Amino acid sequence: MSPASVFVCLSLTLLSDYPVIRVKPDNSGVVTDGVKHSMNPFCEIAVEEAVKLKEKKFIKEVVAVSCGPTQVTETIRTALAMGCDRGIHVEVSGKDYEAMGPLQIAKIFAALAKKEEASLVILGKQAIDDDCNQTGQMTAALLDWPQGTFASEVTIDGEKVKVVREIDGGLETIKISMPAVLTADLRLNTPRYATLPNIMKAKKKKIANMKPADLGVDMVSRVEVLRVDEPPTRLAGVKVETVDDLVAKLKANGTI
């Protein structure tokens, strides 16, 4: 029996390879106004994998989900243009959005996955703006589902999923039962570009709207950000004339 629906959970991140990120003058965070936002690259890979699984007829429906302010619907539309069938936008804005972290998001995704009876939840392994790498794992724990994280290859085999994971020592292959949570790593696939005809079709696909309270999720964060600082500016080097000078300087500053 092929799985019914697959949830792809997306995150909207700062497009960090493009502009220069600045810290706010009050050191409370980074400046996000006017900075280009885009779908998190690992989430693109997750969407691509889900759409590929549907094209190979392993699954029937792909639902794209994301939490955040209205801006996030554009990201969901891109996922729809890549081939997802419908979207769910969980609206979180203002102070709740600023305080939103992996635990709150995981609670939302877990509640949704249960409510909609998803068979597979696929996420990007981490968001490139905070590099937390926690949401997928927390979602699996809250659901008490098995997890296949850092996936570089995913194969569906009946009721089970074979996942090849990229780990420090090499590649680890595991087999987990569904329903399960997967997180996508870089080499899982090359995401397709959304083409214009598909972007037009995506405008007609449905995006449902809801709030965390509708899912019974409380957004209170137990983490308080005290301060955000830029890394210290690199100091100029010092030129020395001889090797003796070099050794003397290294001794003087305690390096040797």
Partner 1 sequence: YRSIQLINSVTSPTSLCGSSINGGWERVIPAFRSVCGEDGVSLGAAVREQHGRDESVHRCRPPDVVVWPRSVEEVSALAKICHHHHLPIIPFGTGTGLEGGVGALKGGVCFSLRNMDRVLDLHQEDFDVSVEPGVTRKGLNSYLRDTGLWFPVDPGADASLCGMAATSASGTNAVRYGTMRENVLNLEVVLADGSIIHTAGRGRRPRKTSAGYNLTNLFVGSEGTLGVITKTTLRLYGVPEAMVSAVCTFPSVQAAVDSTVQVLQTGVPIARIEFLDDVMIDACNSFNSLSYPVAPTLFLEFHGTEKSLEEQVTVTEEITQANGGSDFSWARDAETRGRLWKARHDAWYAALALRPGCKAYSTDVCVPLSRLPQIIVETKEDLMLNGLTGPIAGHVGDGNFHCIMVMDPNDQDEVIRVHEFTERLARRALALDGTCTGEHGVGLGKRALLREEMGPLAIEVMQGLKATLDPKNLMNPGKVL
> Would you tell me which residues interact with partner 1 (CB under 8 A)?
15, 17-18, 36, 38-39, 74, 78, 81, 189-190, 192-199
- Judged by CB, which is closer to partner 1: 61, or 153? 153
- Judged by CB, which is closer to partner 1: 193, or 244? 193
* Partner residues linked to 37 by β-bridges: 14
* Nearest approach, Cβ of residue 249 and partner 1 (Å): 21
Distance separating alpha carbons of residues 33 and 136, to the nearest angstrom: 27
Residues with Cβ within 8 Å of 162's Cβ and at least 6 positions away in sequence, in order, are: 153, 154, 155, 156, 173, 174, 175
- Judged by CB, which is closer to partner 1: 6, or 82? 82
Distance separating alpha carbons of residues 181 and 106, to the nearest angstrom: 11
Three-class secondary structure of residue 170 per DSSP: strand
- Judged by CB, which is closer to partner 1: 39, or 90? 39
CA of residue 40 relative to chain centroid, distance: 6
Residues with Cβ within 8 Å of 192's Cβ and at least 6 positions away in sequence, in order, are: 48, 51, 82, 83
Q: How many CB atoms lie within 10 A of CB 43?
A: 31
* Partner residues linked to 162 by β-bridges: 155, 175
CB-CB contact of 62 with 52 (8 Å): no
Distance separating alpha carbons of residues 20 and 42, to the nearest angstrom: 21
* Nearest approach, Cβ of residue 4 and partner 1 (Å): 26
